[in-house]
Amino acid sequence: MKPTVKAVHVIILVAFFLLPCLLHAQGPGFGDDVTDEVPIDGGLSLLVAAGVGYGVKQLKARKRK
């Protein structure tokens, strides 16, 4: 049995009303054992690797032409 559009809208509406009850905000600030340093190595190294790979792909494409 295919749900009607009205039933889907009701399900989505109920989900939006119940979702805030399940979410809790984090308290202000950090704990005492947390440093304020930002770890940029993980994401930055992935971006550099992706850029190098894209550059190699472009160079190979230019050589083919």
pLDDT, tens digit, 9 for 90 and up, residues 18-51:
877 666 666 666 666 766 676 667 778 889 999 9
Those residues whose C-beta lies under 8 Å from the C-beta of residue 60, and which sit 6 or more positions away, are none
Confidence (pLDDT) at 63: 92
At residue 52, the pLDDT reads: 96
Asked if residue 30 lies in contact with residue 36, where contact means CB atoms within 8 angstroms, the answer is yes
Report the SS3 class of residue 22.
Answer: helix
Mean pLDDT of all residues in 61-65: 89
pTM metric for this prediction: 0.39
